[in-house]
Structure 1
Amino acid sequence: MKIVTDDLTHPAIHALLAEHLQSMYEQSPRESVHALDLERLRDPSITFWSAWDGDQLLGCGALRELDPAHGEIKSMRTPNALRRRGAGRALLAHIINEARERGYQRLYLETGSMESFRPAQQLYESAGFTPCAPFGDYKEDRHSVFMTKSLRP
């Protein structure tokens, strides 16, 4: 598996992000969907990575800088047909390592609260993320779970 900084131009990335957005809108009320579309992922505060096995896209993830000491994980997704192969865990570890290299003290994320999001929550928990209050511009929402991880040594 090769993880690369991605410029968001590959058609496979477009398809995966479309799958991601469609899934989020199917599982959550519109006002509770915080997934970013392609254009919003191009914001300069966001770095986007993709994981590949040869020409096959295994997944993606992004890191948004909230401020010089804090980051937010965004757009973690593996294709439905390729789940449980380790790409999500590898991307999460890559993003955590990048955040440490940037000197961030803390990482945050938002994910869904429904049962279908439990595997994602378990992945984050296994990497040391714990529940927290809403952060940044987020508001309390029964459809969201907010999590954080300290990166201090």
Structure 2
Amino acid sequence: MSRAFVKEQDGGEAFEDLPDRPVSPHPNLVTPEGLRQIEEAVERLRREHGEAQASGDRAGVARAARDLRYWQHRLSNAELVQPSRDPRTVHFGATVTIERDDGRRQTWRIVGEDEADPARGTLPHVAPLAQALLGKSVGDIVEAGHGQAEIVAIG
């Protein structure tokens, strides 16, 4: 049972602070879009926290406070990386197309951890594939999962 809700002696509920969300040990590199997403999350959570306090929603206050702590921390240590205009090598913020051994082509944009969504084609810079791609050029072969892939385009 979650310790966020603890029964008080009189039958009411008391709320403890929820445990903090885990924070990555890696540098918090962000694209300009990623920084904007973090700033928007902080503003949204400030509003949600205030609304939950005003309505007496103690569970909502606890959730918003926990998430606000996380995003404020991520904002405080965000390292903005401006996009490079050099298409010769893979870098943070670059869009890379690879061709796998089985002929599949995949395109990824290498971004910060909080803005990554592989289903939408964004890959966190700390992912093994991103690490294999960084610093490489068109024509280079990299380890990609259980096989290899060739870099066919960098944008």
TM-score, normalised by the number of residues in structure 2: 0.23
Structure number, greater radius of gyration: 2
Higher strand fraction: Structure 1 or Structure 2? 1
TM-score, normalised by the number of residues in structure 1: 0.23
